[in-house]
Chains A and B, each alone.
Chain A
Amino acid sequence: MSAEPKAEPRAVPRARRAARRPVTPYLRVVGAIAWKDLRAEIRSRELINSMVLFTLMTVLIFSLALELDKEARQTTVAGVLWVTVIFAGILGLGRSLAAEKDRGSLDALLLAPIDRSALFFGKMLGNLLFVLVVALVLVALLTVLFNVSLFEPRLLVVLGLGTLGFSTVGTLLSSMSVHARAREAMLPILLMPVVLPVLISAVRASTAILEQMPRADWLPWIQLLAVADVMFLVGAYVLFDYVVEE
């Protein structure tokens, strides 16, 4: 790297090519962007506070609206869990890229000599962390309030896979919806139908696990969930470039 550019007589095109090629290692970029979001969040706490409060309120409303008795709680708790995670997640996703665009820092990120997909995975990782925190708070909350133990290793796997798929699609679509009119309304409309394969299999798997059903009842859903995750990850990796090019 040190002596080679001097030996080359045509230095200019070389330098230009070098500038196009990302200098920082891929994973460092991803980590840096996720860490930036995380640090901003730790300092301001505006997102996580609103998401957790929203979660708490949603759970209270659910328990009021459904008037859950003991058996009903057992069967609906997975649904309550996932619907709340999705709604709270949408709240976070909408803010994550909207804030970036309003402050103008999105342009700076796009100008940086980094791979666009690294930018995507960085943002996605940040969103995933927030959604996961909310999901874990919710698991604790539901365990206490609904008196149904949700701390079950298999359920946590479902939770991880489900939130991964959700934040992947969510990050991609929220980077589109920030450019739309009425963007707060646009994101859920775009996101909900697409994320359904993830949501349905996550709810089915969670319910089956919580009701102690045999393996054949939850394993196919977890497999479907994993397939959907991989599909969305690849899709988002390829398509994100086209969304942010400008």
Chain B
Amino acid sequence: MSYSAQRTGLLKGLTALAAVLFAVAIYLDLFWVGPEATQGAAQRVFYVHLGAFLGAFIAFSAVVVAGIAYLRTRNPKWDTLGLASVEMGLGFSLITIITGMTWARPIWNTWWTWDPRLTSVAIMWLAYAAYVMLRTGIEDPERRRRFAAVYGIIAFASVIFTIVIVRVRPDTIHPVVAGPTQADPTGGFEVAGDMKTTLFFNMITFALITLVLVWHRIRLENLVHYIERRKMEVLAELSR
């Protein structure tokens, strides 16, 4: 089994650290940093929005790494990493979408609009939902792991697409905060001073939270397998 008391201790420590950092981050977002000049309080959700997207991005990148590593080594632990990362990525991209919608309501005057970036992020979410569907649809465990690895790599195209779409064809109204801005974003703003500090802090916090959650999910998956094996052993014992 791949977990020990010592590593569980480290995980506990990291979990506590993530919780503290998250509390501080929320304090920074809501109270410490000043409101944005034109958008006021609505803009505060942006720190969580970008932080959660970073979490999703890290998780989906981990799926690619896990996929390549699984196809090379055939070690099931990489498959577990892939599964755990997909599930966390789904959660974080959902947070990204929901926080984006709550911001869009006052700024764009609509919850949702069929903008290229909004559409592509929705499709990105669907691609990873399809990953979960694919796993349930294939019975042979070895083949399931192999196909999941392949699909996890291919599905990353939707993540790349979500990121590049506003750079390739800037007719989206979604603001681009980092890098060159497009022709006419609606609700764009400059990130400077305290906002930069807050954003940076949120990014680190969300990266850590992602790491911790993925770790917990891997541990859970390992425990499930462990219990299954124990059950089989007990059954074998009883039937003897």
Residues of A that sit less than 8 Å from B by CB:
169, 172-173, 176, 179-182, 186, 189-190, 192-194, 196-197, 200, 204, 220-221, 223-224, 228, 231-232, 235, 239, 242-243, 245-246
A180-B134, A180-B138, A243-B147 known; A194 vs B155 contact (CB < 8 Å): yes
Q: Are B147 and A179 in contact (CB under 8 A)?
A: yes
Least distance between B125 CB and chain A CB atoms (Å):
8
Check A182/B154 contact, CB under 8 A, given A190-B130, A243-B146: no
Does any Cβ of A come within 8 Å of B133's Cβ? Answer: yes
Proximity bits, B159-186, A CB within 8 Å = 1, else 0: 0110010001100000000000000000
Contact of A239 among B123, B133, B134, B154 (CB under 8 A): B154
A186–B157 CB distance below 8 A: no
B229 at the interface (CB under 8 A from A): no
Whether the pair A181, B138 counts as a contact (CB closer than 8 A) is yes
Give A178 to B219 CA distance when docked, in angstroms: 32
A242 vs B148: C-alpha distance when bound (angstroms): 11
Task: Say whether chain B's binding surface is mostly helix, strand, loop, or mixed.
Answer: helix
B150 CB-CB contact with A under 8 Å? yes
- Bound: A47/B137 CA distance, A: 26
- Which of the four size classes fits the interface of chain B? 20 to 34
Show the binding face of B for A, using Cβ within 8 Å. 71, 116, 119-120, 123-124, 126-127, 130, 133-134, 137-140, 143, 146-147, 149-151, 153-155, 157-158, 160-161, 164, 168-169
Given contacts A200-B120, A239-B150, A243-B150, contact A193 B155 (CB under 8 A): yes
Asked whether, in the complex, the Cβ of B158 is within 8 Å of the Cβ of A181, the reply is no
A190–B136 CA distance with the chains assembled, in angstroms: 13
